[in-house]
A and B are shown apart, each in its own frame.
Chain A
Amino acid sequence: MAGRMRMRAEGPRISVDNERCERFGLCEWEAPALFQLRRDGRLRYRRRAQPHEIEQAAAAARCCPMQAIALTGVTGR
């Protein structure tokens, strides 16, 4: 069952708003393969999600305390 989370051809992009992000690391809890709070306190993340990671990427975006994560290329925005 495909649901409605269909991607455009170029796939969903992840971006984190630098001004908003306060490095809570809740995104890492939801999607450790995409987001990592590094030892130096900086946030490292991957710009493109793999197909099997889209659910996790959306979960991270929903849970981010600063609503700093944007997913683009996902229909319905």
Chain B
Amino acid sequence: MSDGDRIVIVGAGVAGLRAAERLRELGFDGEVVLIGDEARRPYHRPTVSKQLVQGIARPGDVTLQSYVDLDVHWRLGTRATHLDTAQRVVHLPGGEELWYDGLVVATGVVPRHLPGSPRHDPRVRVLRTVEDAAAVRRALATSSKPAVVIGGGLIGNEFAASMRQMGRDVTLVGHARAPLYRFGPRVAESVTDLHRSHRAALAMRTEVRHWITTKDTFGLHLTNNQLVVASCVVLAIGSVPAVDWLRGSGLTLDDGVLCEPTLFAVGADDVVVAGDVARWPNLRFDDVPRRVEHWLNAVESGRAAAENLLAGRAGARPFTPLPRAWSSLYEVRLQMAGLPALADDTVPLADGITGFVRAGELVGVCGWDRPRAMLRWTAELERRLPAPEHTGTSVPAAGVPLVPDTVPETVP
């Protein structure tokens, strides 16, 4: 890329924002266009199932800050409809065509819908956006009946905890044997106990048999024969990459956009991919392309994608992060590092940390309210799984003038 060029970023979430920020930090002087179909500036999406749905933060509180002069051309409330990589054009509604010299794809994922669920009923919702959180709050306000959430993953558990923190009854329905089971039996047991102590109901190893929707009753009949009446039902059963607009573009769309280790998209020139939608091989682990759906990965891949786009394919560096993620449930901090999903076994480590092991090698760690121990184990994991050596051109760091130092502060 050179000055005078135009870089288009599709997807105004955190990955898109951090990519734009990095372009400017590195001194890119051309035009940056940020296209997002949500009508608002990028925000802190993890609050959707926590502070926003609880009503303890307002949408205006969760807008993301940036630390450089972004100088971007915002096209919010605008959905990219098609990509033509041969012509280097992004198609927008109304027949508009936007040319680019470089493109960042950062469209994230969309929540999965449950087949058979009454998807047009306003009491059946998903949780991805600020508007979703508001819609759930409206549904909750119309009835004092319990809330129901289907799905025992992070968002399902966070939502259940949020409901109890608001004093609402809630039932979590999941087909696994315990909530958060993929983080190992230790975490699953702890989260089960935690929900019990907060009187959140768990209906595990079960599914919806059918939906009961009459004018005054709304609920679920579960395969364990339980009948649950609900004010609203949140579907938290995973998500699918937002790649509809990329069909026919020549990119490989098989569970996200297939990328090289550098986040350059396979099958096109000058296209990089970042965030939840990118499927790339993290050479720190192996050469299998995978997606990572966590906030910090979106931050770091957004920055790496921008660096590589500016460096060009020849000078690009593989993106080899040590993935880290967090969640909070009630007052408990849950943290992960590495790729627990790769493990074939779990082992209890020191300090209450769960280790995830693949073929005898530690590939991930998970901590239940142990932030200090997590810092130590994350460092240990980084030591055991070093990023592979790369000999290429490196990105210059931004130089900054001198500032004085002052006394330390403490947050009690």
B residues within 8 A CB of A12? 403
A3 touches B371 (CB 8 A): no
Contact between A76 and B406, CB atoms less than 8 A apart: no
Query: Nearest Cβ distance between residue B387 and chain A, in whole angstroms?
Result: 15
**CB of B375, distance to nearest CB on chain A (Å):** 5
User: For residue B399, which residue of chain A has the nearest CB?
Assistant: A2
Q: How far is the CB of A8 from chain B (nearest CB, A)?
A: 9
- Measured CA separation A5–B66 after assembly (Å): 11
Query: Judging by beta carbons under 8 Å apart, are B65 and A61 in contact?
Result: yes
Residues 54-82 of B contacting A (Cβ, < 8 Å): 62, 64-70
Bin the interface of chain B by size.
35 or more
CA distance A3 to B401 in the complex (A): 12
Question: B397 — which chain A residues lie within 8 A by C-beta?
Answer: 55
Contact of B404 with A63 in the complex, beta carbons under 8 Å: no
Interface residue A31 (Cβ < 8 Å from any Cβ of B)? no
Q: Which residues of B contact A (CB under 8 A)?
A: 18, 24-27, 44, 46, 62, 64-70, 295-296, 299, 324, 326, 328, 333, 335, 371-372, 374-375, 378, 396-412
Query: A67 CA to B398 CA in the complex, in Å?
Result: 23
* Most chain A CB within a 10 A radius of its CB, from B70, B401, B402, B407: B401
Evaluate contact between A75 and B69: CB separation under 8 angstroms. Answer: yes
> Which A residues touch B68, using CB under 8 A?
3-5, 74-76
A7 with B403: in contact, given A26-B324, A62-B18, A76-B70 (CB under 8 Å)?
A: yes
Nearest residue in B to A75 (C-beta to C-beta)? Answer: B69
A residues less than 8 Å from B405 (CB atoms): 46, 48, 50
Q: Are B398 and A5 in contact (CB under 8 A)?
A: yes
A-B contacts, 22 listed (Cβ < 8 Å): A2-B398, A3-B24, A3-B68, A4-B398, A5-B68, A5-B398, A6-B400, A7-B400, A11-B403, A16-B409, A26-B324, A43-B411, A44-B408, A46-B407, A46-B408, A51-B400, A65-B326, A65-B328, A67-B44, A67-B62, A67-B65, A75-B69
Q: In the complex the two chains form, is B371's CB within 8 Å of A25's CB? A: yes
A47 CB to closest chain B CB, in angstroms?
A: 5
List, in ascending order, chain A residues with CB within 8 A of B18's CB.
62
A7-B401 in contact (CB<8A): yes
Closest A residue, CB atoms, query B295: A65
Q: B296 to chain A: which residues have CB within 8 Å?
A: 26, 63
**Of A11, A37, A75, the contact of B375 (CB 8 Å cutoff):** A37
Closest-by-CB residue of B relative to A43 is B411
Query: Chain B residues near A25 (CB, 8 Å)?
Result: 371-372, 374-375
Distance in angstroms between the alpha carbons of A52 and B408 in the assembled complex: 17
User: By CB atoms of chain B within 10 A, which of A1, A25, A61, A71 has the most?
Assistant: A25
| Residues of A contacting B375 in the complex (Cβ-Cβ under 8 angstroms) | 25, 28-29, 37
Which residue of chain B lies nearest to A28 when distances are taken between CB atoms in the complex?
B375
In angstroms, Cα B62 to Cα A22, docked, is 16
Q: Which of A22, A48, A75 contacts B406 (CB 8 A)?
A: A48
Q: Give the contacts of A21-77 with B (CB-CB under 8 A).
A: 21-26, 28-29, 37-39, 42-52, 54-55, 58, 61-63, 65, 67, 70-71, 74-77
| Known contacts A23-B371, A29-B375, A45-B411; A1 and B399 CB within 8 A of each other | yes
Please state if B409 and A45 are interface contacts (CB–CB under 8 Å): yes
CA distance A63 to B308 in the complex (A): 21
Give Cα A43–Cα B411 distance, bound, in whole angstroms: 5
> Which one, A1, A4, A7, A61, contacts B396 given CB within 8 A?
A1
User: Which chain A residue has the least Cβ–Cβ distance from B322?
Assistant: A29
* Closest Cβ neighbor of A3 among chain B residues: B398
Residue of B nearest to A21 (CB): B411
Knowing A26-B326, A29-B324, say if A47 contacts B407 (CB, 8 Å): yes
The answer to whether A47 touches B67, judged by C-beta atoms less than 8 angstroms apart, is no
A75 to B70, CA, bound (A): 10
Q: How far is A11 from B326 in the complex, measured between Cα atoms in Å? A: 31
A42:B410 contact, CB within 8 angstroms: yes
| Assembly CA distance A11 to B26 (angstroms) | 20
Chain A contacts for B64, CB-based, 8 A:
67
- B333 CB → nearest A CB, Å: 6
Q: Are B403 and A76 in contact (CB under 8 A)?
A: no
Pairwise interchain contact A29-B46, C-beta atoms closer than 8 A: no
